[in-house]
Amino acid sequence: MSASDDIWILGINMTKFGKHTDRDAVDLAAEATANALADGGVTMADIGVLAAGNLMNAGAGIGQQLQKQVGQTGIPVYNVANACATGATALRTAIMAVKSGEAEMGLAVGVEKLSGAGLLGGGGTPRSEKENWEPSGRFGAVTGTDGRIGTNTMPGVFAQIGMEYGHRYGGTSFELFAKISEKNHAHSTLNPLAAYQKQFTLEEIMGDLMISYPNTRPMCSANCDGAAAAVVTTGAKLKTLSAEQQRRAVKVAASVLTTDPWEEACQVLPNVNTLTRNAATTAYEQAGIGPEDLDLVELHDCFATAELVHYDNLLLCPEGGAVDFFESGAPWRDGSTPVNVSGGLQSKGHPISATGLANIWEVCHHLRGEAGDRQIEGARVGLAHVIGLGSACGVHVLERSAA
């Protein structure tokens, strides 16, 4: 593939995450969109395709509703829903449209209003038991799965995943998982757009409300409101733009989306490990790099337990070596492979459909040298990762412009 066929992020923006009681999902999406366009030095008139993601708020047609506030230009709109990977899927949709030649520039947006949403996943209601069992449910046309072969609630799913890793490889403990959360909350104090910018002591984290062992409340991602948007273009189009636009553009060296593969095992329960490992392996091959080349990583730490297993799944350490990787100090901001310098989902927040693009926003700002007090000096290559149960995994490798 020639340099002119490369895909570049020209403009990108995220709103502050948190509670936005005075704005709805379309308002937040419009804010992120207008600022992403301005960041790239373009307008809606330059955009040839729009991919917009939302799960909870806008019903059908979030993309069309967004256009009514930012500009209706008759372009094709793809409304995207892919669980927590929705934002990354919107970006990949825009990338594919641009790469195919359908448009010279594409816009991807993800937005969610989640503050006060409560427990997500299993509905949060107890299962009623009948005296006589009756077949029902979707999986295998037999019965529902929650409470029978695990749980469908997100805290429970990722608690199981973390505990399984410990049983398989050893070295994990309640305190170790809490230390991961301690790191991310410490990082968040340097991120003005994070929903929470509070540093917690290890004792505060371990002593807080237990949600699903070993994850206490500060070790869980924060439901909040927010939006993020990105403008993508081709290498050929980028060459026609100003020197400043070329300097700030970030190359998409790899864009990968995977789903659960077939396995000779249970086909019902999600396998976030194989899902992510497959995506990471493909992304490194696409980008022509290895994990040792990464200057920073934003990964999907929906719970502290998830961050630990994804060190391994993203090949940041040898198989089974996630505990040693963390205890070496590598994932801290001043470590060899900084992870979740933004504060991660546990502090930055997790407005589901915006998260995938927000992780990319963080990496882009370090590659541009625009991350302020949390800047990773000399950052040239970064990786953004997100998972949506059901399941989908998005991995993007990004590189600094040589212009």
**Strands 7-14 and 250-259, bridge-based pairing:** antiparallel
Q: SS3 breakdown of the chain: % helix, strand, coil, rounded to 5?
A: 40, 20, 40
> What band does 148 get if pLDDT is binned at 50, 70 and 90?
low
The helix or strand, by DSSP H or E, that contains position 226, with its residue range, turns out to be strand 225-234
Report whether pLDDT(136) > 90.
Answer: no
Range of the domain at 64: 3-116+222-400
* Residue count (the chain): 403
pLDDT recorded at residue 261: 87
Report whether pLDDT(308) > 90.
Answer: yes
Looking at the domain assignment, is residue 79 inside a domain? yes
d(CA 49, CA 102): 8
Which among 395, 370, 379, 296 has a CA at the least distance from the CA of 339?
296
The helix or strand, by DSSP H or E, that contains position 386, with its residue range, turns out to be strand 381-388
Mean pLDDT value of segment 274-296 = 97
Report whether pLDDT(269) > 90.
Answer: no
pLDDT recorded at residue 27: 96
Looking at the domain assignment, is residue 141 inside a domain? no
d(CA 295, CA 367): 9
Asked whether 302 and 352 are in contact (CB, 8 A), the reply is: no
d(CA 322, CA 169): 9
> What band does 123 get if pLDDT is binned at 50, 70 and 90?
very low
- Find the CATH number of the domain harbouring 65: 3.40.47.10
pLDDT (tens digit, 9 = 90+) per residue, 368-382?
999 999 999 999 999
For 346, other C-beta atoms within 10 Å of its C-beta total 33
Q: What's the chain's average pLDDT?
A: 92
Burial of 134 (0-12, 13-18, 19+ CB in 10 A): exposed
d(CA 147, CA 24): 35
Mean pLDDT value of segment 186-208 = 97
Mean pLDDT value of segment 6-23 = 97
Q: Which residues contact 302 (CB under 8 A, 6 or more apart)?
A: 84, 154, 158, 220, 221, 345, 350, 387
Q: Which residues contact 240 (CB under 8 A, 6 or more apart)?
A: none
Looking at the domain assignment, is residue 214 inside a domain? no
> What band does 126 get if pLDDT is binned at 50, 70 and 90?
very low
pLDDT (tens digit, 9 = 90+) per residue, 71-120?
999 999 999 999 999 999 999 999 999 999 999 999 999 999 988 666 55
101, two tokens: 């030649």
The helix or strand, by DSSP H or E, that contains position 381, with its residue range, turns out to be strand 381-388
pLDDT recorded at residue 117: 64
pLDDT recorded at residue 202: 98
Domain count, the chain: 1
Asked whether 318 and 290 are in contact (CB, 8 A), the reply is: no
Looking at the domain assignment, is residue 95 inside a domain? yes
**Any idea of the CA torsion for 332, 306, 188, 355, to the nearest 10 degrees?**
130
94 vs 263: which has the higher pLDDT: 94
pTM of the model: 0.93
Report whether pLDDT(141) > 60.
Answer: no
Looking at the domain assignment, is residue 253 inside a domain? yes
pLDDT recorded at residue 1: 47
Q: How far is CA 399 from the centre of its chain?
A: 18
Report whether pLDDT(122) > 50.
Answer: no
Report whether pLDDT(125) > 50.
Answer: no
pLDDT (tens digit, 9 = 90+) per residue, 328-359?
999 999 999 999 999 999 999 999 999 999 99
> What band does 310 get if pLDDT is binned at 50, 70 and 90?
very high
Q: Which amino acid is at 95?
A: I
Q: Which amino acid is at 310?
A: H
Which among 177, 179, 184 has a CA at the least distance from the CA of 163?
177
Report whether pLDDT(140) > 90.
Answer: no
pLDDT recorded at residue 178: 98
Mean pLDDT value of segment 188-199 = 96
> What band does 393 get if pLDDT is binned at 50, 70 and 90?
very high
Active site residues: 84, 350
